[in-house]
């Protein structure tokens, strides 16, 4: 029996693959539309003896008959018992420019996955969702019942997919677990694996670390929020802890049509993040300035993860500082690789 991991070469997917392959056989489907083609090799290097537990398939999951049929073949050939679906378009900024693309593409992808599952009799699905559903955030930690306020097509597409899963579960077609991720940061501690976007990273830590030692000041987007120091507060979670949360769901075979927030339940402001990075690399290597708010940004977004912790006895192994260290290790390696590729 194995677990099908759709989007298993992406940032979160590759970390889920590494964590899960130590317990289960994992079948990755990815088309590298938002990841490098060498991710599979890097996963193998990190896993060492467990690398044999992973199979990789290069497949674009689309709504065509061929694509769904190919996915069904993969499910049958690997005796798949459950699916983790992490693939999809994920840039909030782009989704505001191209809402139709985000709504159509992300929901069609789920449609294809569900068709293949139905035709092969697989019912269990772990679906990756997002704290972006909570829209304007809140000064209180966000529980799963906090109001859903979609402010862009990315979160709307996640909301629609959640609704589809609930509808099908009510008809006993699927059994789901939905994880709403807060802000994943960090990388595998080996430094071998990490996200490498070709242009400016969207998220705060990867961009901040790119600024380190380059004489590029990091810009803090606004310092007039109602938060501890006026800058945006988020619940950053080490991607390895987030990956372990997936392992919990799969190894406990928990598909009870429940939705969980996955974060640490503690907030870190942008200025606190700057200070943590400066503590690691040296104050003089990271300077910052204060700019205007980023359009659409919110002040505070912190999880109440009690439901997940209680259900799975989840004890995170890492913290924000360790995640920054592992991300920095990857950033250093990324720079070395970049230099090598130029020479």
Alpha-carbon distance of 220 to 301, in angstroms, equals 17
At residue 164, what are phi and psi to the nearest 5 degrees?
Answer: -60, -45
Decide if 50 is catalytic. Answer: no
Comparing CB distances to ligand UD1, the nearer of 131 and 262 is: 131
Comparing CB distances to ligand UD1, the nearer of 40 and 305 is: 305
Comparing CB distances to ligand UD1, the nearer of 125 and 131 is: 131
Quote the least distance from Cβ 137 to ligand UD1, whole Å: 9
Asked if 151 and 133 count as a contact pair (C-beta separation under 8 A), the reply is no
Give the contact letters, 153-192, x = binds to ligand UD1 (CB under 6 A), - = no. -x----------------------------x---------
Q: Does 270 bind ligand UD1 (CB under 6 A)?
A: yes
Catalytic residue among 154, 225, 236, 260: 154
Among 202, 214, 251, 283, binds ligand UD1 (CB under 6 A): 202
Stretch that binds ligand UD1, among 29-37, 114-122, 203-211, 259-267 (CB under 6 A): 203-211
Quote the least distance from Cβ 93 to ligand UD1, whole Å: 6
Alpha-carbon distance of 334 to 330, in angstroms, equals 6
Stretch that binds ligand UD1, among 73-81, 164-172, 197-205, 250-258 (CB under 6 A): 197-205
Q: Does 63 bind ligand UD1 (CB under 6 A)?
A: no
| Contacts (CB under 6 A) with ligand UD1, residues 129-158 | 130-132, 154
- Output the CA torsion sign for 10, 15, 20, 21: positive
Give the contact letters, 283-322, x = binds to ligand UD1 (CB under 6 A), - = no. -----------x--x---x---------------------
Among 92, 169, 281, 309, binds ligand UD1 (CB under 6 A): 92
Give the contact letters, 204-223, x = binds to ligand UD1 (CB under 6 A), - = no. x--x-----------xxx--
Q: Using CA atoms of 299, 89, 306, 162 in order, give the dihedral in degrees to the nearest 10.
A: 120
Residue nearest to ligand UD1 (CB): 232
Q: Does 34 bind ligand UD1 (CB under 6 A)?
A: no
Among 42, 70, 124, 234, binds ligand UD1 (CB under 6 A): 234
Asked if 130 and 95 count as a contact pair (C-beta separation under 8 A), the reply is no
- The footprint of ligand UD1 (CB under 6 A) covers 92-93, 130-132, 154, 183, 202-204, 207, 219-221, 232, 234, 270, 294, 297, 301
Residues carrying an active site annotation: 154
């Amino acid at each position: 029996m194995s677990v099908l991991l759709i989007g298993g070469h992406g940032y979160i997917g590759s970390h889920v693959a590494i964590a899960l392959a130590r317990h289960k056989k994992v079948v990755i489907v990815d088309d590298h539309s938002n990841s490098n083609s060498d991710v599979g090799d890097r996963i193998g290097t990190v896993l060492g003896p467990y690398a044999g537990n992973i199979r990789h398939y290069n497949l674009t999951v689309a709504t065509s008959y061929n694509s769904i049929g190919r996915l069904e073949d993969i499910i049958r050939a690997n005796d798949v018992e459950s699916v983790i679906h992490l693939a999809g378009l994920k840039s909030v900024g782009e989704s505001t420019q191209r809402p139709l693309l985000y709504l159509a593409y992300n929901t069609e992808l789920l449609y294809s996955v569900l068709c293949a599952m139905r035709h092969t009799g697989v019912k269990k699905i772990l679906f990756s969702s997002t704290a972006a559903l909570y829209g304007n955030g809140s000064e209180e930690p966000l529980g799963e019942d906090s109001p859903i306020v979609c402010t862009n097509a990315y979160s709307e597409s996640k909301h629609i997919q959640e609704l589809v899963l609930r509808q099908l579960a009510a008809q006993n077609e699927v059994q789901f677990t939905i994880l709403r991720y807060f802000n994943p940061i960090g990388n595998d501690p080996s430094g071998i694996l990490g996200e490498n976007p070709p242009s400016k990273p969207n998220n705060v830590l990867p961009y901040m670390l790119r600024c380190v030692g380059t004489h590029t000041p990091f810009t803090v987007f606004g310092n007039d929020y109602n938060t501890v120091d006026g800058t945006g507060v988020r619940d950053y979670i080490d991607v390895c802890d987030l990956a372990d949360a997936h392992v919990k769901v799969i190894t406990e075979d928990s598909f009870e049509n429940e939705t969980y927030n996955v974060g640490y339940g503690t907030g870190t402001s942008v200025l606190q993040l700057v200070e943590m990075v400066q503590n690691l690399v040296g104050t003089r290597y990271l300077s910052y300035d204060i700019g205007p708010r980023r359009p659409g940004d919110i002040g505070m977004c912190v999880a109440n993860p009690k439901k997940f912790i209680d259900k799975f006895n989840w004890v995170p192994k890492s913290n924000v500082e360790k995640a920054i260290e592992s991300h920095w290790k990857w950033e250093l390696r990324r720079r070395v690789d970049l230099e090598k590729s130029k020479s």
